[in-house]
Amino acid sequence: MILKNFPKIINFIGTARVFDVSKCTRHTRMLSNAIRNPVPKVVVQPPVYIKTDHHYKICKQDTIRKLQALFGLRIYEATEMFMKFKKFSTIPTYRVGENYFFCVSQGMSKTTLRQYPEILAESDVQWKIEKLKILREDINVLAPLILLSQPAITNFLRMEIKEKRIEKLAKMFEVEEDRMCQLMVQKPFLITLNLDFLQTNLRLLTAYGIPKADIVRDLWVLRYSSASISERMELARKNKIEKMKTWMVRAQQEILDNYMKRRSDNKSILGNNSLVEYLSERLDTTEDVARFIISKQPALQKKSLKKMNEMIEFLLINGFKTIHICRTPKILLHKVDTVKKRLKEMKDNDMQLDALSVLTKSQKQYAQALELLKANKSKIKYGVPFYFLIYIGTNVWQKLCFCNSLLQELTFLQYLKSNVS
């Protein structure tokens, strides 16, 4: 073939133009730049399914039906389980069934699988269970550990064989061993942190009156040094904080200082009285109404009494009565500056308020109500025009919420009529 086309090749070479390389500086520069800065390799990412994808919907439906069949659930229960554990949307449906029957064959009860259904969404369940068999413990106790990664399980096995951490930590925190395994998954530092360090901090916290149950709910506090824990606890004790909390160790100094200052101010205002007695006296009502107000707005128990007192004084000066505050106790949780600004806007637009409910709404709802009220220029009776105006401009769910809120306030008003002087 080459010999046959040889004359054509010779003819092409003879007629080819010879280029002078020295004149091709631009092309040479481009070539050198391409060599120094090669085009980055394009990495093709695997497809990511979103909720609108057809394949995702099929996978979701199949997995939900599989969970429903395995656990004997209702369709809404299986759907809730699928939505709670996002890993179910990342594995094929057949893997869920394989993991379930393998776990059952290894002695894991259906109750345990029902308690930790995310185990079925792991891609390497068989490898993890085979590794955990080294401990010769009940697989139902060790089940939460299957949720750890492979390196974490390897590290756990090394520490467990050496120190028997599950048994020691369970006795230390006074919890069951399966609960301890669950805590190790939630807080992996329990696998590696020194046992003596944990024991010292635990004793120190309990010495300041913090129950072990509270420490178990906030295990991060155990990572702090003993000196830091002692310093914060002593600071709280000097400021006459009777009930110690674990967050006092973790919180920033500014937050702790503000909390202690608020407690000190509240105590100076209350004296020997309770919050119920203070509100009943301040709002000129009975203690039963005060308890009802606190139950309706539990955040009042943590509110600064100094700011609450400022709000009450401000409202009384601006023509409102204690009955208005009792009808809308949520107003006590707002800032005086915000309420002052909204009242000024109302007065500037010649709007008279007979209720405080409009002032407690979110910024968006308040702006919407203000615009509608500007067009109507009607006097607001006890919150009803406001609810009606909002009602006609919202969707069905918001309408139901507003109607429910209105019903609660009207019911509370009837209660107040018989109790407030």
Residue 275 is predicted with a pLDDT of: 84
The reply to whether 232 falls in a domain is no
Over the stretch 17-35, which tens digit does the pLDDT of each residue have?
A: 444 444 455 555 555 555 5
The reply to whether 103 falls in a domain is no
The reply to whether 255 falls in a domain is no
Residue 411 is predicted with a pLDDT of: 58
The reply to whether 365 falls in a domain is yes
Higher pLDDT among residues 155 and 51, named by residue: 155
Contacts of 256 (CB under 8 A, 6+ apart): 232, 235, 236, 248
Q: Of 82-91, 118-127, 267-276, 293-302, where does mean pLDDT reach its minimum?
A: 267-276
Over the stretch 266-292, which tens digit does the pLDDT of each residue have?
A: 887 777 778 888 888 888 888 888 888
The reply to whether 140 falls in a domain is no
Q: Rounded distance, CA 342 to CA 344, Å?
A: 5
Q: For the chain, what is the largest distance between any 2 Cα atoms, rounded to a whole number of angstroms?
A: 120
Q: Which of 130-139, 197-206, 261-270, 355-364 has the highest mean pLDDT?
A: 197-206
Look up tokens 């990572």; give the residue. 223
Q: Rounded distance, CA 210 to CA 245, Å?
A: 7
**C-alpha closest to that of 352 among 373, 379, 333, 376:** 379
The reply to whether 187 falls in a domain is no
Q: Rounded distance, CA 386 to CA 357, Å?
A: 9
pLDDT at 382 over 60: no
pLDDT class of 357 with cuts at 50, 70, 90: confident
Per-residue CA distances from 167 to 149, 219, 415 (Å): 22, 17, 56
pLDDT class of 205 with cuts at 50, 70, 90: very high
Residue 163 contacts residue 195 (beta carbons within 8 Å): yes
Residue 383 is predicted with a pLDDT of: 46
Query: Tokens standing for 1?
Result: 């073939």
Over the stretch 145-203, which tens digit does the pLDDT of each residue have?
A: 999 999 999 999 999 998 899 999 999 999 999 999 999 999 999 999 999 999 999 99
Residue 140 contacts residue 107 (beta carbons within 8 Å): yes
Over the stretch 294-350, which tens digit does the pLDDT of each residue have?
A: 888 888 888 888 888 888 888 888 888 888 888 888 888 888 888 888 888 888 877
pLDDT at 125 over 70: yes
Phi-psi region of 148 (alpha: psi -120 to 50; beta: other; left: phi over 0): beta
Look up tokens 């007065």; give the residue. 347
Q: Rounded distance, CA 235 to CA 247, Å?
A: 13
Count: domains in the chain: 1
pLDDT class of 44 with cuts at 50, 70, 90: very low
| Rounded CA Rg of the chain | 35
Per-residue CA distances from 385 to 36, 266, 376, 379 (Å): 73, 37, 10, 8
Task: Give the domain range for residue 283.
Answer: 274-417
Query: How large is the average pLDDT for residues 205-223?
Result: 93
The reply to whether 213 falls in a domain is no
Strand (E) or helix (H) holding 376: helix 363-376
Query: How large is the average pLDDT for residues 91-104?
Result: 90
Overall size of the chain counted in residues: 421
Residue 412 is predicted with a pLDDT of: 53
Q: Average per-residue pLDDT in the chain?
A: 78
Query: Tokens standing for 340?
Result: 């002052």
Q: Name beta bridge partners: 353.
A: 380
pLDDT class of 129 with cuts at 50, 70, 90: very high
pLDDT at 75 over 80: yes
> Coil, helix or strand for 274?
coil
Residue 386 is predicted with a pLDDT of: 46
Per-residue CA distances from 358 to 83, 296, 328 (Å): 37, 18, 10
The reply to whether 305 falls in a domain is yes
Residue 169 is predicted with a pLDDT of: 93
Contacts of 373 (CB under 8 A, 6+ apart): 349, 351, 380, 385, 386, 389
Per-residue CA distances from 306 to 213, 285, 300, 321, 335 (Å): 33, 20, 12, 19, 12
Residue 114 is predicted with a pLDDT of: 92
Look up tokens 């994808």; give the residue. 53
Query: Tokens standing for 99?
Result: 């993991």
Q: Rounded distance, CA 26 to CA 223, Å?
A: 63
